[in-house]
Amino acid sequence: MYFANMRAALLFGTAFAALPTTALADEAQPERDYLPGDIVVTGKSDGYGNDDGFTAVKTPTPLIDVPQAVTAITRDQIDDQNATSLNEALRFVPGVSLETGEGHRDEVFIRGQETTADFFLDGLRDDAQYYRPLYNVERVEVLKGANALIFGRGAGGGAINRVSKKARLGETLTAGAASVDNWGAFTLATDLAAPVGNSVALRLNATYEEFDNHRDVFEGRFIGISPTATVALGEVTDLVLSYTYDDDQRVVDRGVPAFLGRPLTGYDETFFGDQDYNYSDVEAHIARARLDHDFGGGLTANAALQYAHYDKFYSNIVPSGASDADGDGVADTASLSGYEAGTIRENLIGQANLVWTGDTGGIGHTLLIGTEFSRQDTDADRDRTLFDGERSYTTDLAETIFVPPFTFEFQRASTSELSTLSFYIQDQIDVADWLQLIIGARYDEFDLESYDIGNDFLGTRKDDRISPRLGVIVKPQDNLSLYASYSESFLPASGDQFTVLSSTSINLEPETFETLEAGIKYAPREDLLVTAAMFRLDRKDTPFTEPVSNVVLQTGATRVQGFEASLAGSITEQLHVNLGYTYLDGEIRSQTNDGGIGTELQQLPEHQIGAWGRYDFTDNLGAGLGLVHQSSQFASFSNDVVLPAYTRVDAALFYTVNDRMSVQLNIENLLDEDYYPSAHGDNNIQPGKPLTAKLGVRFEL
């Protein structure tokens, strides 16, 4: 291990002892706002509620006027749950289920659509395959349904946007946090801000984490540094500069295999890999600049530029099945395979928007005109392991899995250059006090050139797509909206990582996603929002290889339909909640390469509940309670392996020592349930954590 449990505890104790111990303040518990500013853009993200709808429409629009389901996880909720990674926070978002990501990346299903690339940082694409931290994040936004108008390609089921912490003019801040859990994992973090004169503000977020859990040999560490500066270039012009360096090293844990259609039990701590070989190393550099200017007369503009460099390597031995060799009905062997892969990616993305708010002939408009370009270069390679010349090896099941010596053979390598150019226009029209329309479209030009080194194949393809968005909002009163919307998105045949074009995919058109949604949003108070929506998502033009002629046809189709409801904000001054429920029903409707008609979609639980609440008994003492429920789901399109239904209960205690320091205890899986929350195919199934206690402290000087 990187550090023994005792060393982690000593580090935590040292940080705790160094904190101030002034007397209790009369109002020690800080005020927790949950929907500040009448649910509009405020630059704040306090509370558990959704504070604005800017990301969904790129204009300063109250979330209640956005014809789309949106879930926000604010900084208060992230801190109360003591979540340090994106996937920890997303577990509480119904409609989103987690894929294991092969033990080295974020990978999610949003309304049944799998993605490794629909992740964004301040509205700009962050599509490399790695685990995203939360130390420098103000809030996380999950936007459901097809989102091509705002985000471009992909985002068929939805998109996940992280809003960064930024320096604020005039703000001075010295804050920090530390935590340690019963497995020895710990986190140290700091948040520093200071003004430089009247027109410049600086801020630095940094963290160091060490990983550990109940799984044998799992360990790792993360280093994150993120400085940012805000410069007032005048009364109406602001420049925001930021840089993020993330360095993640960890053991790659591929979970357990399946046996008789269920996760293999009795081996939840067993590592099905090679502790000296299963390893992931990622370095991410992301530099951003954003300029905002107010021309007056209702006209504003913003422009952003982002450069990112990702360097990733991972290697792993993986379980590929479990068997009953002696026929007694009990698994006694497991098969193993393995590979290693490296990816270097450079992204350059630019975006500019004009927003005009005004009237024409007594009709109100919020008009958005924007453009985006990107250049993405990717080098990728992959070698697979050979066990005495064979690609698979059968080993006996045991507490420690035996992995024999292995060699490597070349599997694939490629280089790719992607250029995109987009233009979009959207008008939010106030037809009457009670009726609003949203009409818009985006034009995307997707130009990919790739070279398949192993097959010596140079492929080029250019796709042009127009993605419309329509919405109608009826407002019987200011705090109530009824809406209906239609939106589209597309995914090129090269997939969401576009690393290589094959001789087949070079001839295929993009897949299409169409979302129909109708819903209601009601804000009984400024700090409370209730929403409900029904939706249908159709995925079309999916490839299907005709078995007789071997011709690839784009006739495949799937459909997901469902319902979701949420309650976010403050029920009382003491009780703050973020509750959600989703019902999902999805299947293949026209045969695809993944399955025939009627095949249920992979990792699509019929029922999902995500609930978290905090109640403050006094100014100093509070408690939190969380619940995550997912009904049973198939691990893959094969429909051969079922991940059983589960319900996980979390809890927390909060004690505010004084106006500078607070202590909290978080317990994950309070009832110590055995469960399997995610998978990557049928034989890489991740066991959930048993009861885990994490003690944390936060301070602000």
Q: Identify the CATH number of the domain in which residue 553 sits.
A: 2.40.170.20
Please give the Cα distance from 220 to 245 (Å, whole number).
17
Q: What are residue 473's DSSP bridge partners? A: 436, 483
Residue 24: per-residue pLDDT: 33
> How many angstroms separate the CA atoms of 470 and 438, rounded?
6
3-state helix, strand, coil in the chain (%, to 5): 5, 60, 35
Token pair listed for 629:
């429920």
> Residue 577 and residue 145: Cα distance in Å, rounded?
24
| pLDDT score of 54 | 64
- Token representation of residue 15: 């940080």
CA dihedral 34, 40, 42, 43 (to 10 degrees): 80
Q: Which two tokens stand for residue 676?
A: 């399997």
Check if the beta carbon of residue 243 is closer than 8 Å to that of residue 190. no
Nearest of 431, 581, 598, 589 to residue 514 by alpha carbon? 589
Pairing mode, strands 528-545 and 511-525: antiparallel
Rounded Cα–Cα distance for residues 67 and 282 (Å): 38
Pairing of strands 119-121, 642-643: unpaired
* Number of structural domains in the chain: 1
Euclidean distance between CA atoms 178 and 155, whole angstroms: 35
Question: Could you list the residue range(s) of the whole structural domain that residue 445 is in?
Answer: 5-700
Going by C-alpha positions, the residue among 431, 540, 441, 521 that lies closest to residue 486 is 441
Report yes or no: 217 and 272 within 8 Å, Cβ to Cβ.
no
Lay out the sheet containing 96-98: strands in order across.
Answer: 96-98, 108-110, 113-115
pLDDT at 155: 85
460-464 long-range contacts (CB < 8 A, ≥24 apart) are: 460/501, 460/506, 461/492, 461/493, 461/494, 461/501, 461/505, 461/506, 463/490, 463/492, 463/509, 463/510
In our burial notation (b when 16+ CB lie closer than 10 A, e otherwise), range 452-489 reads bbeeeeebebebebebebebbbebeeebebebbbbbbb
The predicted structure's pLDDT at residue 379: 97
Low-confidence ranges of the chain (pLDDT < 50): 1-28, 33-46, 50-51
**pLDDT for the residue numbered 499:** 84
Separation of alpha carbons 608 and 475, rounded Å: 29
- Angle at the Cα of 521 (from 516 to 526), degrees rounded to 5? 150
Q: Alpha-carbon distance 698 to 342, whole Å?
A: 38
For residue 227, how many other CB atoms are within 10 A of its CB?
17
Nearest to 144 by CA among 419, 415, 535, 422: 535
pLDDT, tens digit (0-9, with 9 covering 90-100), for 101-149: 999 999 999 999 999 999 999 999 999 999 999 999 999 999 999 888 8
Q: Report residue 441 CA to chain centroid gap.
A: 25
Q: Which residue has the tokens 């530099």?
A: 287
In this structure, what token pair is assigned to residue 379?
């080098």
> In sequence order, what E strands does 324-401 have?
333-360, 363-386, 393-396
pLDDT tens-digit series, residues 473-520: 999 999 999 999 999 999 998 888 888 888 888 999 999 999 999 999
Q: What is the pLDDT of residue 31?
A: 57
